[in-house]
A = this chain, B = another copy of it.
Amino acid sequence: MLGIKFTTNKTIKGKLGRAGILNTPHGDIQTPSFVVVGTKATVKAVSPEQVLALGTQVVLANTYHLYLQPGEQILKNSGKLRKFMNWQGPTMTDSGGFQAFSLGVAFGENVSKIAKGEDRRENLTDEDELRKFIQKQSVQKQSALAKIDEEGITFKSHLDGSEHRFTPERSMEIQHNIGADMIFAFDECTSPRAPYEYQKEAMNRTHRWAERSLYHHNKLLSENKEKRALFGIVQGGRFEDLRKESARVISAMDFDGFGIGGSFDKEDMDTVVGWVNDILPEDKPRHLLGIGEPMDLFGGVENGCDLFDCVAPTRMARNGTLYTKQGRININNSQFTNDFTPIEKECGCYACKNYTRAYLAYLFRAKEMFAATLASIHNLYFINHLVKNIRQSILDDDFFNYKNDFIKQYYTIF
């Protein structure tokens, strides 16, 4: 009843990284793989056929957003997520916790730090509107939005201020109703700035919630006779003993895969991920939550992660920031208005094969929706193919050469 099976094809010599295959009920995923984020059951500005054509293997939607709108019952009645959004491949949902927590700060932090923007919202990877909403709130108001207790979290909708409650059991019910192939245990994602004592407290709560998530998930599985895989989430901030303890505790539970929660700074990422993956069982997939910028992917893969999701490629695209092998460009810069070359000369994506930088620069100035479509297509193609090339380099025993060549080029235009 797992629904998924993971096989390693090749490892990076002397490292935790590997190339593998993740079989799911709706198709195989060659790993490492980038998971494209379709927050609200649509990849913004791009059709499912376009998403597929640019090499996407799996799509992740956000439980928090879909729970609030259109609501889990509509997802359930529609025939579940894949059918609702017309995505033919495998799907994932997150637990809903991260976004629910993002709306509140009532968990042991220094409020003045938060006011200065020094909190985990710097790493926020959910939606634009949510960010804008949060930015508009005063710290006092933020504190009032989400409250955590042993049973779960009470929060207010960013759409209408109505009060809601997530518990591990509710998260499982909602995610089963949404109906993705791979779902996540309900966890608490702490701030990387949270002190040791709070990280420990939150981690232990996450472990208790993991057990409850797993128990309720199995109950729903046997009731509904469906295939659905549950990933447990490792937390523990940037503290070695906590991360290792969390990896051991979560590994010991019968999860189908694992997520690594992102409560660390980017400079600590490789180290933290390494601690965790050294402990997690080799025969199950590992998902690095909310990470997916080009430079981060190399570290994540090298240190043993198989799956990555991140809204950066599509969000940046909508603002006109585009990946190239030489680094990022902002298509809104005036130099591009008369540039009749593609975004990237040797890119095989639909946008680069058919349109010029001048056209895209113009579409952004004219505020045409097709600008977001073309830019998103390019960035997703770029990331998907970067991860595909990383995978190939592992299979070819050439990972470090590929990595070094990529890094050498990537900053040349800055």
A residues near B (Cβ < 8 Å) are 40-42, 44-48, 50, 69-70, 74, 77-79, 84-86, 337-338, 340, 354-356, 358-359, 361-363, 365-366, 368-370, 372-373
Asked if B69 and A366 make an inter-chain contact with CB atoms under 8 angstroms apart, the answer reads: yes
Neighbouring B residues of A70 by C-beta, 8 Å: 337, 358, 361-362, 365-366
Asked if B354 and A42 make an inter-chain contact with CB atoms under 8 angstroms apart, the answer reads: no
Neighbouring B residues of A69 by C-beta, 8 Å: 362, 365-366
Contact with A356, one of B78, B355, B359, B369 (Cβ below 8 angstroms): B78
CB distance from A89 to the nearest CB of B (A): 14
CB distance from A377 to the nearest CB of B (A): 9
Neighbouring B residues of A44 by C-beta, 8 Å: 368-370
Asked if A340 and B78 make an inter-chain contact with CB atoms under 8 angstroms apart, the answer reads: yes
Neighbouring B residues of A365 by C-beta, 8 Å: 69-70
Contact with A369, one of B45, B354, B355 (Cβ below 8 angstroms): B45
Closest 3 CB pairs of A and B: A70-B362, A45-B369, A86-B354
Asked if B370 and A47 make an inter-chain contact with CB atoms under 8 angstroms apart, the answer reads: yes
Neighbouring B residues of A361 by C-beta, 8 Å: 70
Neighbouring B residues of A78 by C-beta, 8 Å: 340, 356, 358-359
Contact with A359, one of B85, B340, B373 (Cβ below 8 angstroms): B85
A129 nearest in chain B by CB position? B367
Interface centre among A45, A79, A361 (most CB of B within 10 A): A45
A340 nearest in chain B by CB position? B78
Q: Within the assembled complex, what's the spacing in Å between the Cα atoms of A267 and B40?
A: 45
Interface centre among A42, A338, A358 (most CB of B within 10 A): A42
Can you identify 30 A-B contacts, CB atoms within 8 angstroms? Answer: A40-B366, A42-B363, A42-B370, A44-B368, A44-B369, A44-B370, A45-B370, A47-B50, A47-B370, A69-B366, A70-B361, A70-B365, A70-B366, A74-B337, A74-B358, A74-B362, A77-B338, A77-B358, A78-B340, A78-B358, A78-B359, A79-B340, A84-B356, A84-B358, A84-B359, A85-B359, A86-B355, A86-B359, A369-B369, A369-B373
Neighbouring B residues of A338 by C-beta, 8 Å: 74, 77
Neighbouring B residues of A84 by C-beta, 8 Å: 356, 358-359
Interface centre among A41, A363, A369 (most CB of B within 10 A): A369
Asked if A368 and B74 make an inter-chain contact with CB atoms under 8 angstroms apart, the answer reads: no
Beyond A70-B361, A78-B356, A86-B355, list 7 extra A-B contacts (CB 8 Å). Answer: A41-B362, A44-B368, A45-B370, A46-B370, A47-B50, A48-B354, A78-B359
Q: Within the assembled complex, what's the spacing in Å between the Cα atoms of A79 and B338?
A: 12
Q: Within the assembled complex, what's the spacing in Å between the Cα atoms of A85 and B70?
A: 35
Q: Within the assembled complex, what's the spacing in Å between the Cα atoms of A355 and B47?
A: 12
Q: Within the assembled complex, what's the spacing in Å between the Cα atoms of A77 and B340?
A: 8
A74 nearest in chain B by CB position? B358
Q: Within the assembled complex, what's the spacing in Å between the Cα atoms of A355 and B373?
A: 19
Interface centre among A74, A361, A370 (most CB of B within 10 A): A370
Asked if A369 and B366 make an inter-chain contact with CB atoms under 8 angstroms apart, the answer reads: no
Asked if B369 and A372 make an inter-chain contact with CB atoms under 8 angstroms apart, the answer reads: yes
CB distance from A395 to the nearest CB of B (A): 33
